[in-house]
Amino acid sequence: MFGGKVVIRTTDGMGLAEAMQKSIDESAANKRDLGAISLDAAGNIVWGKTSEVLLAAYHNGDTIGDTLEWQLEPGVGSI
């Protein structure tokens, strides 16, 4: 359901970060424990979480890493 909300919001013209923020805020208000990573056609990457941990691995062209290294508060971020 979470992913569907983000897709509908971006299809309706909302930016990816704004759609993720609204969806994360709704999930937190409903006491849902989740994490999500979203990408759009322009290559934007946005993540959000209501949980303590968001597990993901990445390669940015120079470095391979994972989100276990990150000290992120619940909310939304982007690169």
Range 39-47 average pLDDT: 85
First to last CA, the chain: 24
Lowest mean pLDDT among 5-14, 22-31, 61-70: 61-70
pTM (2 d.p.): 0.75
pLDDT of residue 59: 78
Find the helix or strand (DSSP H, E) in which 6 lies.
helix 2-11
Domain range summary for the chain, segments of one domain joined by +: 2-78
Closest listed residue to residue 45, CA positions, set 34, 53, 56:
56
Q: How far is CA 26 from CA 17, 50, 59, 62, 75, in A?
A: 14, 10, 30, 35, 11
Q: What is the pLDDT of residues 18-28, one digit of tens each?
A: 999 999 999 99
How far apart CA 20 and CA 15 sit, in angstroms, is 9
Mean pLDDT over each residue of the chain, to the nearest integer: 85
